[in-house]
Chain A
Amino acid sequence: KQEVTQIPAALSVPEGENLVLNCSFTDSAIYNLQWFRQDPGKGLTSLLLIQSSQREQTSGRLNASLDKSSGRSTLYIAASQPGDSATYLCAVRPPLHQAGTALIFGKGTTLSVSS
């Protein structure tokens, strides 16, 4: 059974710092991996999606990497800003031949960036 773990559960940094959020998964057979952002009480905003054949994706100050063989992904945030404060969720999608194709989520890392 696929399990997704995110470490740390919470992180506080001063504005301007570069930071890394970690995600690990137990089964390397995945279709893709997505990073989401969630503001308190709100829905999810997709940040980056990495297909299983890809190693990384970049969008602005965000860079996500994927190492399927070791079951790990990282989300790198450069030059953090107070507006980056939110909970970041990692989710993996099983291979399409498996029933469901629903996302399996980690519990998230809550990031607080102070000015």
Chain B
Amino acid sequence: EAGVTQSPTHLIKTRGQQATLRCSPISGHTSVYWYQQALGLGLQFLLWYDEGEERNRGNFPPRFSGRQFPNYSSELNVNALELEDSALYLCASSLRPSGGKSNEQFFGPGTRLTVL
């Protein structure tokens, strides 16, 4: 069974540009989570999508946005890129959170975004 996949592997942009990152969840998973791992800051929660809706977002500005498609894949868009947006962006998927299930999150390999 295929795991969580992300594309592209690496992305290089300049300040002010927009970046689009993509994630395909494990088959059967409806929830997709986005996390940012910036140097020295650890992993921080960005966005959670489930059944096509944004369910929650972390403490990030509105220029971080995304969407989830009917096939449960997801896009993360970062507008007006800043140097500090350089980070590894990780996507995770799980079954829809509900009582009685572990809802373990499974992570993809990440997209390394570099902003010059």
Residues of A at under 8 Å CB distance from B? 32, 34, 36, 41-46, 49, 51, 89, 91, 93, 96, 99-108
Contacts and interface: CB of A to CB of B under 8 A. Distances in A.
Nearest to A51: B102
10 contacts: A34-B104, A41-B110, A45-B107, A99-B55, A99-B56, A100-B55, A100-B56, A102-B58, A103-B92, A105-B42
B71 interface: no
Nearest to B111: A43
A101 to B, nearest CB: 5
Top 9 A-B residue pairs of the complex, sorted by shortest distance between their CB atoms: A102-B45, A44-B107, A105-B43, A100-B56, A43-B109, A107-B42, A101-B97, A43-B107, A43-B110
Contacts of B92: 44, 103
Of A36, A45, A101, most B-chain CB atoms within 10 Å: A101
B42 A106 contact: yes
Contact of B45 (A43, A89, A103, A108): A103
Contacts of B42: 105-108
Contact of B48 (A43, A51, A101, A105): A101
Contacts of B98: 96
B88 interface: yes
Contacts of A45: 107
